[in-house]
Amino acid sequence: MPVLVLGILFYLAHISEALFKSKTSKYLYWIMSETDFQAYVKELQESQPKIKWTIQNYHYEEKRHRDKDGKEHVERKRVNTHSAEAYYDIGGFLDETLSPAQMIAMFHLMYDGEQQDLEANKKKPISRIFLLCEMPLEYHPVDDQEEQRLFDRREAFWRDNTRDTHQDKSTTDLIDCGYKSHVMVILREGTDDSRARPWWMQYWFYAICTIFLMSVPFRCFFFSHCTKIQWEVLKHFSHKNQNSWADDPKHGRANRTDTASKAFRKVKRETPTGNFTEPNVAWDAGKQQLEDVGPPVQVPVGVPSYWKNRDLDKDFDDKINLSADEREKMQKLVDVTYKDKATRDRKSDGMPTRLVVTQVVRMEDSKMWRRFEQKRAELALKGRNQKIASRRSWKKVGQHTLLHIMT
């Protein structure tokens, strides 16, 4: 009987760990499309960091009692007393979390080296990647003075709230948004859909495997089909406003030599750094450039008339092979733009004199088109300068004329 009870307890502990505590359960619960993940990273970059201190005072009390045989027993029980919590007074912060573009640059630096000879190390193209992102919070004081001030404030808080024999003390890094520590991102060619994953890569299937004690094989198989990266949410803080900082952050990426910091310096990030009390000047200046420059522009509505799929109320994502006629037009475009200039990754001595177009494919994606229409409508409302030339430009190619429609 004791063995059975022990087995049931182990089984329940296994269920609890696998379904609620494991990294696999978190990845399968928080699955994002590429667009959703970009929005999530931007939200993390803009959100305010918080540092929370807690203290719980307690002592132990002993109670003595006798059993029916007259033997005395001593029961030791913990009694919680005074508790308190406080936040450090952060007045400004600088965010150095990598953007998606910078993370791609980091991959190139890792796999292609400093020179980024992409072709030299090119792998077989893949149409789908399951990216497991572990996103720990990493907060640093901006300088030594701020670090000492943080230490002094924390020690003063704990000292002022020490009211009993024992204390549980903790420091927790928080962030002012819907923070998720583990996220799975699905990158798939031609679509932006978090549902584009194998049938077995579902939380419900993982739960079934867990019930039948098969969670460990599932985890091994799951991680073997995914790419795991650590995406630090890096922020530097001070009790002062960011505009009054005298120097760059002590632990800033400008002083680091790791691959992520090299990528951060190599690729300019469009996402703003945060500040509690003052607007970010560079970010706001970029928004101000979208001023009205003329009357609203009339733009067409709906997909192009030559598309096979026309109904935007339905989701579609098709690759349409174009005719030989269209392939010939594309061949002319390649011919007039081709340059016989060798790149540094070319190892042979010879150079091709011409590139031949063998196939032309048109992407028809309803979700991508709806996003394009939305952004185009926003820009159209801003109008355009009357000095801008027509959106149709003509270019002579021998006896033929190519029409470039810039949409």
Name the residue with higher pLDDT: 23 or 393: 23
* pLDDT of 349 strictly over 70: no
Under the banding of pLDDT at 50, 70 and 90, the label for residue 174 is very high
Distance CA 208, CA 98 (A): 36
Q: How far apart are CA 104 and CA 32, in angstroms?
A: 17
Neighbours of 366 (CB within 10 A): 17
The stretch 329-341 carries a mean pLDDT of 85
Reported pTM = 0.60
User: Is residue 116's pLDDT more than 50?
Assistant: no
Considering the chain, what is the average pLDDT of its residues? Answer: 78
The pLDDT of 142-150, averaged and rounded, is: 93
Higher pLDDT, 240 or 264: 240
Residue with tokens 């810039």: 406
Could you tell me the two tokens for 385? 């300068």
pLDDT of 193 reads 63
Cα 128 to Cα 317: distance, rounded to the nearest angstrom: 15
Q: Identify the residue with better confidence: 78 or 370.
A: 78
Average pLDDT rounded to a whole number, residues 88-104: 85
Pairing of strands 137-141, 233-238: parallel
Whether pLDDT at 283 is above 60: no
* Tens digit of each residue's pLDDT (9 = 90 or more) over 184-239: 988 765 555 666 788 899 999 999 999 999 999 999 999 998 988 888 999 999 99
Give the start-to-end residue ranges of the domains of the chain: 2-61+75-288, 299-337+355-407
- Tell me what pLDDT residue 272 has: 44
329, burial (CB in 10 Å: exposed 0-12, middle 13-18, buried 19+) = middle
